[in-house]
């Protein structure tokens, strides 16, 4: 293989491995899974969150349940990824949108932050906290996310590792469910949507 091409392929593989490690870290944080978080750091790694600093050794114990004390239902979305690889050294930047639910004086709030992960350093772009004024109507068949290993994803990952298929079935005959074609919009937006299309078509 051409040396230049081989170097490019090695760079792509290195970049993908770094990205996969970042995704594992995000999954570990969102699921309060200390083992996943710990597996993404070398023991001598340094992590700078500005308001707090950590070492790689023992970081899983810290992040295994730290989010349970102040927030719930947290999610990180990685919105970009830039990596520069220079031999055995690499630096990356990954903008992230963080959303979680918190509570203050008995009132539920949504906490939003725009942050960037740069070389194990967290840089804050902006943040805001808004009261939750309405929720999606409850549905007994809705699959809710867990805050740890009770999350449905762990079961589905484990089934795949065992080469087993998830127990998925068409919902047409299941009690309390409807197929997508007949499903009504329980959030109450269907009427508004239909009115929009009616006005647009008549205009």
The string of DSSP codes covering 69-137 is GTEEEEEEEE---EEEEETTEEEEEEEEEEEEEEEETTEEEEEEEEEEEETTEEEEEEEEEEE----PP
Domain that holds residue 126: 3-202
* Average of per-residue pLDDT across 98-115: 92
* Average of per-residue pLDDT across 99-117: 92
Q: How does strand 46-48 pair with strand 71-78? A: unpaired
Q: Is the pLDDT of residue 203 over 60?
A: no
Name, in order, each residue with C-beta under 8 angstroms of 33's C-beta and a sequence gap of 6 or more: 27, 64, 148, 149
173/25: higher pLDDT = 25
Q: Is the pLDDT of residue 118 over 90?
A: no
* Average of per-residue pLDDT across 12-36: 93
- Whole-number pLDDT of residue 14: 94
162-196 pLDDT tens trace: 998 877 765 555 665 555 545 545 555 554 444 44
Q: Using a pLDDT cut of 90, give the percent of the chain over it.
A: 42
- Whole-number pLDDT of residue 171: 56
- Whole-number pLDDT of residue 63: 81
Domain count, the chain: 1
SS3 32: coil
Window from 23-32, 102-111, 131-140 with minimum mean pLDDT: 131-140
Average pLDDT, the chain: 82
Confidence of residue 201 (pLDDT cuts 50, 70, 90): very low
184/34: higher pLDDT = 34
* Average of per-residue pLDDT across 67-81: 85
- Whole-number pLDDT of residue 195: 46
46-71 pLDDT tens trace: 889 888 888 899 888 888 776 666 78
Q: How does strand 71-78 pair with strand 82-86? A: unpaired
On whether the CB atoms of residues 28 and 154 are closer than 8 A, the answer is: no
- Check which CATH number belongs to the domain holding 23 and give it: 3.10.450.50
Q: Is the pTM value of this prediction over 0.75?
A: yes
H/E element, 53: strand 53-55
């Amino acid at each position: 293989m051409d040396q230049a091409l081989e170097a490019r392929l090695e760079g792509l593989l290195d970049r993908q491995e770094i990205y996969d490690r970042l995704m594992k870290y995000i999954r570990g944080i969102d699921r309060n899974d200390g083992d996943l978080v710990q597996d993404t750091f070398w023991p001598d790694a340094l992590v700078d969150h500005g308001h707090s600093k950590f070492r790689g050794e023992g970081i899983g114990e810290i992040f295994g349940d730290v989010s349970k004390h102040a927030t719930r239902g947290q999610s990180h979305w990685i919105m970009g990824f830039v990596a520069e690889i220079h031999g055995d050294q690499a630096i990356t930047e990954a903008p992230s949108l963080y959303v979680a639910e918190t509570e203050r004086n008995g009132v539920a709030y949504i906490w939003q932050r725009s942050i960037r992960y740069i070389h194990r350093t967290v840089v804050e772009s902006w943040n805001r906290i808004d009261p939750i004024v309405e929720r999606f109507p409850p549905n007994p068949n809705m699959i809710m996310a867990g805050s740890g290993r009770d999350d449905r994803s762990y079961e589905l990952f484990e089934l795949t590792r065992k080469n087993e298929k998830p127990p998925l079935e068409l919902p047409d005959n299941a009690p309390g469910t409807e197929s997508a074609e007949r499903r009504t919009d329980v959030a109450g937006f269907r009427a508004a949507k239909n009115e929009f299309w009616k006005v647009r078509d008549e205009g």
